[in-house]
Amino acid sequence: MMSNNIQASLLKEKPILELLPKTNWRTFFAMKTADFVSNMNLSVVIPTYNESENIKKLIAEIAKVLKKQYAIIIVDDSSPDGTAKLAEEMSRKFPITVIKRKGKKGLSSAVIAGINGSKSNLVCVMDADSSHPPALLKKMRTAFENDSSLEMAIASRHVSGGGVKQWPLHRKLTSAIAAVLARPLTEIKDPLSGFFMFKKSIIKNKKLHDRGFKILLDIIVKSNAKRIIEIPYLFENRKRGKSKLKIKVYGEYLAHLGALYLYALKKKRMNRGRT
């Protein structure tokens, strides 16, 4: 048997790291980063107004896809059809928080309320009307698990493999025009998507525009996110309930777009002044 004195002398002669099993430290830290992201809860923010026909099915599908490490935040604008009550009933079985607001305050402000109410850094925004497939949530979250530098993943209709189903010509035309008008602000193909996942840290100390329907474009312009990917998906029209898209939405979008142009111009001038 080796004496304690001989063991001590061997330890002095050999660096301690050489006595440890050989480890690929790059792989080790990559695995730990992935573990950290996957163990971090994902908050799924869903703004609702009169979605009683869709909400139960959607929640069940999200739970089936994500299984664990998630929370659902329903932000309801006083739906007269009882959407909030249904969501509260389902909270007995699923991890759901229901934020009830007085009056119909709009989609963007509902999303902001949901983001502010989330406890995790990883947040997803999606609609309640079945146009956004819950199956894509797993693919989006996996993208963050595999790439620690990723800041945003957008479900895109306008990249290869994506598209829309059953849209009338006028809807396709207005969507295309809206995307073209946003092009000077970003190279993202679908900056008007309502289905996206991002790290909340990218909007820290940023004041987001709380009117209208196009909160994603606001986040892209104001966040300075550098690592963004687009994941193709097929947008489907709602199967149940009534669409909330009205003419005034287009006017709100143009006003919002003008404000973002001014914001981007001001930021560009400030950056020039620093150089």
Closest CA to 95 of 136, 59, 144: 59
pLDDT at residue 248 tops 90: no
pLDDT at residue 41 tops 90: no
What's the CATH code of the domain at 183? 3.90.550.10
pLDDT at 239: 62
Rounded mean pLDDT of 256-268?
92
What is the percent of the chain with per-residue pLDDT over 90, rounded to a whole number? 66
Q: Is residue 19 part of a domain?
A: no
- How large is the greatest C-alpha to C-alpha distance in the chain, in angstroms? 88
Q: If DSSP codes are grouped into helix, strand and coil, which group holds residue 96?
A: strand
Q: Is residue 1 part of a domain?
A: no
pLDDT digits (tens, 9 = 90+) for 80-98: 999 999 999 999 999 999 9
Q: Is residue 82 part of a domain?
A: yes
pLDDT digits (tens, 9 = 90+) for 148-205: 999 999 999 999 999 988 888 888 888 889 999 999 999 999 999 999 999 999 999 9
Neighbours of 30 (CB within 10 A): 13
Locate 120 and state its tokens.
């995790």
pLDDT at 260: 95
Q: Is residue 107 part of a domain?
A: yes
Report helix angle 107-117 to 215-223, nearest 10.
60
Cα 174 to Cα 83, 168, 181, 195, 208, distances in angstroms:
30, 10, 11, 19, 24
Rounded mean pLDDT of 47-65?
96
Q: Is residue 245 part of a domain?
A: yes
Q: Is residue 23 part of a domain?
A: no
Average pLDDT, the chain: 85
How many domains does the chain divide into? Answer: 1
pLDDT at residue 257 tops 90: yes
With bands split at pLDDT 50, 70 and 90, how would you rate the model's confidence at 249?
confident
Q: Is residue 120 part of a domain?
A: yes
pLDDT digits (tens, 9 = 90+) for 205-243: 999 998 887 899 999 999 989 999 999 999 987 665 555
Q: Which one-letter amino acid corresponds to residue 24?
A: N
- Could you tell me the residue range of the domain that residue 81 belongs to? 36-274
**Higher pLDDT among residues 3 and 130, named by residue:** 130
Q: Is residue 13 part of a domain?
A: no
pLDDT at 46: 98
Q: What is the pTM assigned to this prediction?
A: 0.81
Rounded mean pLDDT of 112-119?
96
pLDDT at 143: 97
Distance CA 42, CA 122 (A): 5
